[in-house]
Chains A and B, each alone.
Chain A
Amino acid sequence: MPGYTDPGFDTLALHAGARPDPATGARAVPIHLTTSFVFDSSDHAAALFNMERPGHVYSRISNPTNAVLEQRVAALEGGVGAIATASGQAALHLAVCTLMGAGGHIVASTALYGGSQNLLNYTLRRFGIETTFVKPGDIAGWRAAVRPNTRLFFGETVGNPGLEVLDIPAVSQIAHEAGVPLLVDSTLTSPWLIRPLEHGADLVYHSATKFLSGHGTVIGGVLVDGGSFDWEASGRFPELTQAYDGFHGMVFAEESTVGAFLLRARREGLRDFGACMSPHTAWLILQGIETLPLRMERHMRNTERVVQFLASHPFVARVGHPLLESHPGHRLAQRLLPRGAGSVFSFDLKGSRGQGKKFIEALKLFSHLANVGDCRSLVIHPASTTHHRLDDEALAAAGIGQGTIRLSIGLEDAGDLIDDLQRALKAAEKAGA
């Protein structure tokens, strides 16, 4: 039963990882804007460098403010720990490059954020890491795509922007049968809507820029390890099960039974690739997380109102949200996402591409920009912006049409959002007359 010692989600969102500062009594988490930390002695320095004692050395590797954020997100996700990164993309890169090098292979969902698709389909190929893309609902396809050199399965809790719901229990089972972990991007849902680790995922990451931060102020990412995957039993991960010359011959899976991945990711990936988070950014994301439960509840309530409005509007051809029975992921969302499938979704106008442009330009409350998960409502045309590098085939595979509009529903009064949409729809309709 939740109590002081067994806190619920809302309490963890405020308290996990933080306590009044013992040096000053400061109640809010202090921002430790320092590059480095003084050693007590030469022996202390040596022990910190060799992971014999806990503590911070250099803020690229770890920092007390970042550590609070890492513990807090790990607590909210039900993980063993986390690593804060410079961005969500940095978190994805860190996960991939901790688990494989050239010659590695990934099986990934087609329904990915454009930046992730770009990283896998173009950039990582240049470094010898191949990806096979599978429609998230094609369960047999996931199995068929496995190769002897496969090291990772990867998908999003709900695809961006089609909200294709990933069947995490089914996909993770196939991944585990193949001896590889499932990494899930949970940016669009946040742990308030779903905790992927509880459904079988092994690793989770967020673009904390979005709902965790919630205010559109900073770029950041967080990578969480569930501690559930047995790297030794798999036999596919010498990076974690054999001595690493780059860190005193450490065998990470011996060093920590459930934290091996995080140890290597921090001691190699964060150290060498260097995509760390600023403590100031960590602090701002912590501010956001403190109100995450309240904001997510309001995001969901507003989204329901807007989806209902759009679904009944005569100038709207399709609304792609699992709230609607017409969405292919409706039943799966009811099972995995009972609190809602997020507030970022797309819809299609009945008009031309030009009318779509007119619609966006007529909006006053919705801001036209490339972000989601802000407290303010946002709008964008994916085919010409976030997914513009995708060819037509890849665009269609990602469930995006030329006239698709993506909305990110914020925290304004729902009635005002609907008025804004209604006015813009009317302007778009008139533009086609």
Chain B
Amino acid sequence: MYVDVNGARTYCYTGGQPLEPGRPTVVFIHGVLGDHSVWALQSRYLAHNGWNVLAVDLPGHSKSAGEAPASVEQAAGFVVALLDALGIQRAALVGHSWGSLIALEAAARLGARASHLALVGTAYPMKVSPALVESSLHEPEKALRMVNTFSRSTLAPPLGAGFWVYGAGMALGRRVLRSNPQVNVFHRGFVACDSYAGGEQAIAAIQCPVLFVLGTLDQMTHPKAAQGLIQAARAAGRQVQVAQLPVGHHQMSEAPDETLLALRDFLT
């Protein structure tokens, strides 16, 4: 469905179900060069099992209009504005990679309005190598290939019918990049990840339980790089769960069922 957020037409995939009053809401936030479809095998299930689902295309990405966020803070502001636009008082936030930082920052801003926070493939700080940042600007096809290669942990992604995860990642990245002729959202997203400095403050401010879904073979956001956030969340007295999956950075497609079950069990 489309909704007007900050004056821009914004797309949210609702999992094939209309939003219904009285149901809990979960917001899915994609990473750099992603869109709502990266959550296909998690969002549809929840939408058919009692949840209102909003898997967003961030502004300036894929089907959504608007200025692509230049920082985690801007993107978090968009998430809050999305909930306000729809009159949703409380929601769970689930983010992948860059989207995990956006979910973290948004949860901190939402305070008690955030019911759950799930960080998939996260790290803090989320530093991006200068060479990759540079390539994303000047040689995006090469950088996209690097990202998809680093994100992969296997040549044999699991159960399912005939989708080739690496090829799907390449095609989606190209499509999202092409969807915004004004801004290189690849480069802008990487810069936003690299420059985000509010992680400690945000994790201390959140008021909800936190789930970390980490890939033990993740070369993009190595599980070690999430330990600081995990410890900070525990130190802040938050209820913390950690799910370690034997996959790379494509948690949602390399381990779709395990990722879904970790989210489902955390949310319910």
Chain A interface residues (CB < 8 Å from chain B): 5-7, 11-12, 15-19, 47, 50-56, 61-62, 64, 66-68, 70-71, 74-75, 78-84, 226-228, 230, 232, 248-251, 254-259, 262, 266
B87 within 8 A of A: no
Task: Check A81 against B167 for contact (C-beta < 8 Å).
Answer: yes
Which residues of chain A have C-beta atoms less than 8 A from B257's C-beta?
A: 53-55
**Of the candidates A53, A78, A230, which one forms a contact with B41 in the assembled complex, judged by CB atoms under 8 Å apart?**
A53
Q: Does B21 contact A (CB under 8 A)?
A: no
Please pick, from B44, B62, B164, the residue contacting A257 in the complex, using a CB distance under 8 A.
B62
- A6-B149, A17-B156, A53-B257 known; A259-B163 Cβ under 8 A: yes
Chain B residues lying within 8 Å of A54, measured Cβ to Cβ, are 41, 158-161, 256-257
Measured between alpha carbons, how far is A12 from B152 in the docked complex, in Å?
Answer: 14
CB under 8 Å from chain A, chain B span 8-43:
13, 16, 35-37, 40-41
- Name the distance in Å between A14's Cβ and chain B's nearest Cβ: 9
Let me know if A227 and B168 touch, CB within 8 A.
Answer: yes
Q: Within the assembled complex, what's the spacing in Å between the Cα atoms of A250 and B48?
A: 13
Q: Inside 8 A of A226's CB, which chain B residues have their CB?
A: 171
Check if B164 sits within 8 Å of A79, measured CB to CB.
yes
- Asked if A266 contacts B164 (CB within 8 A), the reply is no
Residue of B nearest to A78 (CB): B167
A258 touches B160 (CB 8 A): no
Query: Are B155's CB and A81's CB within 8 A?
Result: no
Please indicate the chain A residues that have their CB under 8 angstroms from the CB of B160 in the complex.
Answer: 54-55, 62, 67
- A16/B155 contact (C-beta < 8 A), A67-B161, A255-B37, A256-B40 known: yes
A62 near B161: Cβ-Cβ < 8 Å: yes
Residues of chain A lying within 8 A (CB to CB) of residue B170? 78
Contact of B78 with A by CB under 8 A: no
Question: When A7-B155, A19-B156, A258-B175 are in contact, do A53 and B162 touch as well, CB less than 8 Å?
Answer: no
Q: How far is the CA of A80 from the CA of B157 in the complex (A)?
A: 13
Q: Is the CB of A5 within 8 A of B149?
A: yes
Q: Could you pull out 14 A-B pairs where Cβ atoms are within 8 angstroms?
A: A5-B152, A16-B156, A18-B155, A47-B45, A62-B162, A71-B157, A74-B163, A79-B167, A80-B163, A227-B167, A228-B171, A249-B16, A256-B40, A257-B37
A70 to B157, CA, bound (A): 12
In the assembly, what is the distance between CA of A218 and CA of B145, in Å?
35
Residue ID in chain B nearest A29 by CB atoms:
B156
Residues of A within 8 A of B260 (CB): 53
Residues from chain A with a CB closer than 8 A to the CB of B163 are 71, 74, 80-81, 259, 262
Q: Judging by beta carbons under 8 Å apart, are A18 and B156 in contact? A: yes
Q: Kindly state the separation between the CA atoms of A126 and B231 in the bound complex, as whole angstroms.
A: 68
With A16-B155, A17-B164, A67-B162 in contact, do A258 and B45 touch (Cβ < 8 Å)?
no
Contact status of A52 and B45, CB under 8 A, knowing A71-B156, A227-B167: yes
B interface residues (Cβ-Cβ under 8 A, vs A)? 13, 16, 35-37, 40-41, 44-45, 48-49, 62-63, 145, 149-150, 152, 154-164, 166-168, 170-172, 174-176, 219, 256-257, 260
Chain B residues with CB under 8 A of A55:
159-160, 257
Q: Closest A residue to B255 by CB, please name it.
A: A54
Verify B167–A80 contact, CB threshold 8 A: yes
Given contacts A81-B167, A262-B162, contact A52 B152 (CB under 8 A): no
B48 pairs with A74, CB closer than 8 A = no
Q: Name A230's closest neighbour in chain B (CB-CB).
A: B175
Known A-B contacts A5-B150, A12-B155, A256-B40; the reply to A81 vs B164 at CB < 8 A is yes
Chain B residues with Cβ under 8 A from A255's Cβ?
Answer: 13, 16, 37, 40, 44
Assembly CA distance A303 to B150 (angstroms): 40
Decide if B167 touches A74 in the complex (CB within 8 Å): yes
Residue of A66, A80, A266 with most chain B CB atoms under a 10 A cut-off: A80
Q: A53-B256, A67-B161 are known contacts; what are 12 more A-B pairs with Cβ within 8 Å?
A: A6-B149, A17-B155, A17-B164, A50-B48, A52-B41, A55-B257, A62-B160, A75-B155, A228-B171, A230-B175, A255-B37, A257-B36
Complex alpha-carbon distance, A17 and B175, angstroms: 24
How far apart are the CA atoms of A250 and B174 in the complex, in Å?
Answer: 24
Contacts of A266 in B (CB 8 A): 161-162
Docked pose: A226 CA to B171 CA in angstroms: 7
A16 to B166, CA, bound (A): 10
A230–B35 alpha-carbon span in the complex (Å): 15
Instruction: For the complex, give the distance between the alpha carbons of A230 and B172 in Å.
Output: 11
Q: Which residues of A contact B167 (CB under 8 A)?
A: 74-75, 78-81, 227
Which residues of B are found within 8 Å of A50, using beta-carbon distances? Answer: 44, 48
Q: What is the CA–CA distance of A50 and B43 in the complex, to the nearest angstrom? A: 12
Within 8 Å by CB of B162, from A5, A6, A11, A71, lies A71
What's the minimum C-beta distance from A106 to chain B, rounded to whole angstroms? 24
Residue of A nearest to B48 (CB): A52
Which residue on chain B has the smallest CB distance to residue A1?
B149
Most B C-beta atoms less than 10 A away, residue of A53, A54, A257: A257
Complex Cα distance, B37 from A19, in Å, reads 26
**Roughly how many angstroms separate A71 CA and B172 CA in the complex, as a whole number?**
17
Chain A residue contacts of B36, Cβ below 8 A: 257
Nearest CB on A from B44, distance (A):
5
Bound-state CA distance A262–B167 (Å) is 13
For the complex, give the distance between the alpha carbons of A12 and B164 in Å. 12
Q: A18-B156, A230-B175 are known contacts. Are A66 and B162 too (CB-CB below 8 A)?
A: yes
Shortest CB distance B172–A (Å)? 5
**B165 CB, nearest partner CB in chain A, Å:** 8
- Min CB distance, A159 to chain B, in Å? 27
Which residues of B are found within 8 Å of A84, using beta-carbon distances?
162
Q: Which of A6, A7, A47, A257 contacts B172 (CB 8 A)?
A: A257
- With a cutoff of 8 Å between Cβ atoms, the chain B residues found around residue A248 in the complex are 16
| Cβ–Cβ < 8 Å partners of A64 in chain B | 159
A3: nearest chain-B partner, CB-CB: B149
Q: Which residues of A contact B145 (CB under 8 A)?
A: 6
CA distance in complex: A67, B172 (Å): 21
CA distance A415 to B166 in the complex (A): 43
B219 CB contacts on chain A under 8 angstroms? 5
A306 to B155, CA, bound (A): 38
- In the bound assembly, the distance between CA atoms of A15 and B164 in angstroms comes to 13
Which of chain B's residues have a CB closer than 8 A to the CB of A56?
159, 161
Given contacts A7-B155, A19-B155, contact A70 B161 (CB under 8 A): yes
A177 → chain B, closest Cβ, in Å? 16
A226 to B37, CA, bound (A): 16
Q: Could you say which residues of chain B place their CB within 8 Å of the CB of A230?
A: 175
Residues of A within 8 A of B63 (CB): 232
